[in-house]
A = this chain, B = another copy of it.
Amino acid sequence: MDLSLYITGVDLLGTFVFGLSGGTVAIRHRLDVFGVIVLAVAAALAGGMLRDMLLGATPVIALADERYLLVAVAAALVAFFFKPLISRLGKPVMVFDALGLGLFAVTGCRKGLEYGLDPVVSVLLGVLTAVGGGLVRDLLVTEVPRVLREEIYALAAFVGATVVVVGEYLVLADWLVTLVGISAAFSVRVISVIYGWSAPRSPWL
Q: Report which A residues bind B (CB closer than 8 A).
A: 26-27, 29-39, 41, 49, 53-56, 58-60, 62-64, 66, 69-70, 79-81, 83-84, 87, 112, 115, 117-118, 120-121, 124-125, 131, 135, 139-142, 144-145, 147-148, 151-155, 198-205
Contacts and interface: CB of A to CB of B under 8 A. Distances in A.
Contacts of A142: 142, 144
A81 B53 CA distance: 34
Contacts of A41: 124
B121 A33 contact: no
Per assembly, the copies of the chain total 3
A84 to B, nearest CB: 5
Given A63-B117, A121-B63, A154-B34, A148 B202 contact: no
Contact of A140 (B63, B145, B198): B145
Contact of A155 (B34, B151, B201): B34
Nearest first, the 8 A-B pairs at minimum CB distance are A56-B58, A83-B204, A32-B199, A66-B118, A27-B202, A63-B121, A66-B120, A53-B53
B148 A204 contact: no
A153 to B, nearest CB: 7
A78 to B, nearest CB: 11
Contacts of A198: 32
A124 B69 contact: yes
Nearest to A28: B205
Contacts of A56: 56, 58-60
A148 B54 contact: no
B153 A34 contact: yes
Contact of A32 (B33, B135, B200): B200
B59 A148 contact: no
Nearest to A112: B63
